[in-house]
Structure 1
Amino acid sequence: MPQAYDTIVVGLGSAGTTAASTLAKAGRRVLALEAQDRIGGRVKTVKCGDGFVEEGAEWIHGTEDSRVYQAAMNNNITVLPQDLDMEVYRSDGSAVNRELMEDLISFCLERVGKPPDEPPMKLGNFITSRLMEYIKEKYPHLVDDKKFLKEFLDLVNLFVNNYEASNDWNDVSAQSRYEELGGHQHMSWHRYGYKTFFEILLNTYNNGPGLPNLDIKLNTEVTQIKWPRDTTGNVEVVCKDGSTYTASNVIVTLSLGVLKERIKMFRPPLPEQKITAIEEMSMGVMDKIIFKFDEPWWHDRALFYIFIWDIKDRENVAKDDYWITRIFAASNPLGSRNVLTLWTSGDVAKMIETLPENEVKSKCMQLLRRFMGRNHTIPEPVEMIRSTWFSNPFTRGSYSYDNLLTPQKPNLREDLASPLLDSAGSPRVLFAGEATNSVHFSTVHGAAETGYREAMRLLPSSKV
């Protein structure tokens, strides 16, 4: 007979690892099943250059009431604030007035997450209207510069898409319920790597002994979850390799993208309300293309290099190469001195994942030389890594965002989070993950909050 567990956790990203470790520390017998060959989910720390790079989540967003930041502090780990100082280049290689661009970009990004009082608006329309008011007041000479305004708004659209993982800023609701944590928004794990958060959770940091009550099985893809409506049966979790595991309950931490694809894996089927939530919420894509060089060739002081396309230059890009115009920036991560990360999102990110390695590499190097070659001698990279969050069958995207349905259907995330109960009202199938967090979605700390939330649903009297 297979061993019975108190709880099975499906997925070992931030939510699943938090849930599993919280329950195990409270004395519960926990089995964690992870389809991939590693722990971390949409956090993926990779050795590169003279340190580490992050294919997925890069920063701790905020320090106040953050389970992630607190984990670092509790273990005397110094995380570093990364100030995103900018240098802005045009597609003819010339530099742009840095103070002006930093001011305008900061103004636009500060509007994100500050919903307007008026009726529901698309985020792009909202930011544009506020920006025009600001320009009239502070930079009246730009009001009639239609060319500059068009080029700048195209750039900010890409900026916002990277924050939201959206394809276009007008796919996102200005009435988003997202809330920032207090404190610095870009804290870096630098040479430790984000993987350290998971080592802390699992008690393996600094050669810790782990958690004796927690069994972990990697490369174990779950294909079906059978749950009892009555009070006597166990939950059965069936895996692709033919194995079956039983427990009193299961915490499902699959991404929204995977739930959309595998909505029929539950027996009996999910209730209509939850199916609606899964179908109507949006999962976005944000991808990175990471280049390692023998030595850094860029300025140390600028951490973010922004690319702004001239309208005519953009129009002259070959149709097949359109995707390079959607890579809006390059940055040097704090985890590795000789690495540059290029950023893109949405449908173009999905498409780049399918292109041949050599094509991505050569076109991206052309892009860097076009924008930065006038001021830098740019060598060939010695290595390229690119994220594939959409084509990965176990993520199917990067993180969720509040789409245009949010104002009319504000409870979709709560519906996704609600557990499936048996006839006595006991939770049998519980749901965690960033998409189930009403206000801190799209973040590692938000995912961790939901893992803790569901663990505590099963530990109502515990002081963990």
Structure 2
Amino acid sequence: MDAGMAPLFDDGRPEIPGGVDGAVERVLVVGAGIAGLTVANALAHAGVECVVLEARDRIGGRLHTVDLAGSRVDLGGSWIHHPTGNPMHRFAQAAGIACRPATPLPTLTGFDCATGLRLSHDEVEATLTPELDGFTRALGPLRTQLGPNASAADGIEAFLAASGLTGDPLRRAAQGLRANVEADAAGAAERQSLEWLWTQEEYGGDYFGVQPEGGYATVVDAMAAGLDVRRDWAVSGVDVADGGVSVTSQSGGTERGSHVVVAVPLGVLKAGRPQFSPALPVERTEAVRRLGFGRYEKVLLAFDEPFWRRVGWSHLVLFTPDAAEPASWVLDLDAFGGGPVLACHTFHSATGHLGSPAASTRWVMDMLSGALGAPCPEPVAVMVTDWAGDACAEGSYTHVPPGCSNSDLDLLGRPVAGRLLFAGEHTQSARLGYADGAMTSGIREAKRLLGTAAVSLGPLSSS
């Protein structure tokens, strides 16, 4: 796609961000996730030399699509949430990537593993929807009542204490609310600030929105097409001087440029990588330390056929006996056109059940057997994510703990010394935790470097 034909994108803000020193001649981007690739794509369309340095042997970061027994499955992000007006959806459409609706809500049923109770769609809706809607409406009064240092768990407890629920319905309501909080925050409800819970901006359309056909790899590949990406190039150090920047690899290689954009996950920054010279300002390192970065894992089971349809369910909420755990959501990927695969979405406080692939599979299959009322068939292939154990991620995505604020996120998006820039979902508060938030952070940094109010994005010709 020629630059003149590529559509223009902005980050939702009319202003051109400043803070850049010197002529923008050669930009180094550390990290080939969607944030880094977006920066590089925009710069390439503008004719600026750009090199992307990626530690892994693949691109995409936490957007990672793999083949599981012939089905394409996303190990990380899988939805384009709120697709109407969403730049990620607009990019996919412009790149010719088909997207399909993928909401589980119309056919969602449930099973209580503690009592053996099966919950119909209407019963699940009656259990979850009123409590979620009520909790959302009560956030303002709860913040006033509990104060600025309260956690989301504190808010859930106070809200349900006034609900009149008791016994198992109370447990299920608490687990349902915890699942919503921990899915959004990738962290324990006790570590999520009530003050800043669900304060992100929203685009239009359904929350679950759409999924790119063939997985998020189709979007990643379109954004990366024609770019200079160096794989297996693990950055160890970033040096900033008056005249430019230099980036060194763990194997001793060096790349030099006029500016550098660091687009690694917050978890990697929290682990002290890469090393910066001079050191980052104290307020920056303190914000990195304070912000939270937790887990959201998937157990993916592929089968010969979608046998669950024979017993009358598709998507399933599983309520465990432990009231302190969030419910787990088991999604029927076949219903989204993805093949006979069940994906158990496991939120932070339930990830203690995950260990080896065999142990993780057994935990999920035992719950499925209870829901089926019979032994669950053996899967033909299994994949269990471990984003927390991935040295290039160190977790799933960012949340704001009690005592922090959204301003900590926005601070991480500001340049340092005129030549060191940052991108990623953790560098902005508007769409924290969303892939489109990472994308718009890349647009923001490209706007900053180019001095323009909008940038061109689209697959580049490799010729």
| TM-score normalised by L of structure 2 | 0.83
Which residue of 2 is the match for residue 244 of structure 1? 254
- The reply on whether 1:71 has 2:95 as its aligned counterpart is no
1:120-139 CA distances to partner (integer Å, 9 max, x unpaired)? Answer: 34223334544566x5xxxx
1:222 aligned partner = 235
In the aligned structure 2, how far is the partner of 1:131 from the partner of 1:277? Answer: 32
Residue 179 of structure 1 aligns with which residue?
A: 201
Tell whether 2:116 aligns with 1:99.
no
Instruction: Tell me how far apart the structure 2 counterparts of residues 89 and 348 of structure 1 sit (CA, whole Å).
Output: 16
Q: Deviations over 1:101-148 (max 9, x none)?
A: 313422444445984152434223334544566x5xxxxxxx363342
Helix, strand or coil at the partner of 2:60: coil
Pairwise CA distance, 1:5: 6.3
Distance, in Å, in 2 between the alignment partners of 1:463 and 1:164 is 30
Distance 1:255 1:200, change over 3 A: same
Query: CA 1:398/1:113 → structure 2, altered by over 3 Å: closer, same or farther?
Result: farther
TM-aligned CA deviation for residue 462 of structure 1? 7.1
Report the Cα distance in structure 1 between the residues aligned to 2:211 and 2:390, rounded to whole angstroms. Answer: 25
Aligned residue in 2 for 1:25: 45
Match of 2:302 in 1: 292
Q: Aligned partner of 2:267: which letter?
A: G
Partner of 1:82: 102
Residue in structure 2 matched with residue 6 of structure 1 by the alignment: 26
1:463, CA displacement in angstroms? 5.3
Residues 237 and 90 of structure 1: CA distance in aligned 2, closer, same or farther (over 3 Å) = same
Q: What is the CA–CA distance in structure 1 between the aligned matches of 2:318 and 2:192, rounded to whole Å?
A: 23
Whether contact under 8 Å (2:328, 2:347) holds in the other structure is no
| One-letter code aligned to 1:145 | T
Cα distance change of structure 1 residues 151 and 348 upon mapping to structure 2, 3 Å threshold: closer
Q: Give the aligned residue type for 1:200.
A: A
Deviation at 1:347, TM superposition (A): 5.4
Give the stretch that moved more between structures: 237-246 or 412-421. Answer: 412-421
Q: Report the secondary structure of 2:410's partner residue.
A: helix
The 1:453/1:169 distance shift into structure 2, 3 A limit, reads same
- C-alpha distance after superposition, 1:249-306 (max 9, x if no partner): 0000111100011256000000011111101111121000100111111128854201
Secondary structure of residue in 1 paired with 2:118:
coil
CA–CA separation in structure 2 for the residues paired with 1:187 and 1:303 = 18
User: How is 1:199-214 mapped onto 2 (pairs within 5 angstroms)?
Assistant: 199-203=221-225, 210=226, 214=227
> Which residue of the partner structure matches residue 21 of structure 2?
none
Instruction: Give the Cα separation in 2 of the matches to 1:350 and 1:459.
Output: 46
Q: Which residue of 1 aligns with 2:449?
A: 458
What's the CA shift for 1:366? 1.6
**Could you give the per-residue CA deviations for residues 152-184 of structure 1, whole angstroms, max 9, x where no partner exists?**
313432342122211235633243332222212
Map 1:430-449 to 2 at 5 A.
430-449=421-440
Which one-letter code corresponds to 1:336 in the other structure?
G
Partner of 2:341: 339
Distance (whole Å) between structure 2 residues aligned to residue 394 and residue 113 of structure 1: 38
Gaps of 5+ in 1: 136-142, 204-209, 316-321, 422-426
Contact 2:178–2:326, Cα closer than 8 Å, also in 1:
no
Q: 1:276 aligns with which of 278, 286, 291?
A: 286
Note closer, same or farther for the CA distance 1:221–1:436 as it changes in structure 2 (3 Å cut). same
| 8 A contact 1:220–1:239 mirrored in 2 | yes
Whether 1:357 aligns to 2:357 is yes
Give the RMSD, CA atoms, in angstroms.
2.6
Match of 1:404 among 380, 383, 402: 402
Alignment of 1:305-320 (within 5 A): 305-310=316-321, 314=322
Partner of 2:166: 145
How many Å separate the matches in 2 of 1:50 and 1:296? 14
Letter in 2 for 1:193: G
Amino acid at match of 1:96: L
Cα distance in 2 between the residues matched to 1:461 and 1:149: 53
On the 8 A contact 2:131/2:173 being kept in 1, the answer is no
What does the per-residue CA deviation read over 1:67-122, in whole Å, with 9 as the maximum and x for residues that have no partner?
21001222343312222231111224331253243134224444459841524342
In the alignment, residue 385 of structure 1 is paired with which amino acid? M
Stretches of structure 2 lacking an aligned partner (at least 5 in a row) = 1-23, 456-463
- CA distance in 1 between partners of 2:436 and 2:95 (Å): 17
Q: Deviations over 1:46-76 (max 9, x none)?
A: 1124431110001001123312100122234
What corresponds to 2:73 in structure 1?
53
Q: Which amino acid aligns with 2:122?
A: E
Distance 2:165 2:384 in 1: 40
Describe the SS at the equivalent of 1:71. helix
Residues 150 and 170 of structure 1: is their aligned pair in 2 closer, same or farther, counting only changes over 3 Å?
Answer: farther
- Cα-to-partner distance string for 1:334-360 (whole Å, 9 max, x where unaligned): 2522100112132552672xx233222
Count of aligned pairs between the two proteins: 419
Residue identity (%): 26
For residues 50 and 96 of structure 1, do their structure 2 counterparts lie closer, same or farther at Cα, with a shift above 3 Å needed?
A: same
Structure 1 pair 181–129 and aligned structure 2 pair: CA distance change class (3 A): farther
User: Amino acid of the residue matched to residue 102 of structure 1?
Assistant: E
Contact 2:83 2:210 (C-alpha < 8 Å) held by counterparts? no
Q: Is the 8 A contact 1:62 1:182 kept in 2?
A: yes
Which of 125, 129, 153 is the matching residue for 1:124? 153
1:414 and 2:410 correspond: yes
Q: Which amino acid aligns with 1:308?
A: F
Q: Cα–Cα, structure 1 residues 109 and 247, in superposed 2: closer, same or farther, change >3 Å?
A: farther
Matched, 1:191 2:213: yes
Distance 1:391 1:170, change over 3 A: closer
> Would the alpha carbon gap of residues 147 and 303 (structure 1) be closer, same or farther in structure 2, given more than 3 Å must change?
closer
Counterpart code for 2:372 = G
Task: Determine if contact 2:176/2:327 at 8 Å carries over to the other structure.
Answer: no
1:52·1:190 contact (CA, 8 Å) conserved in 2?
no
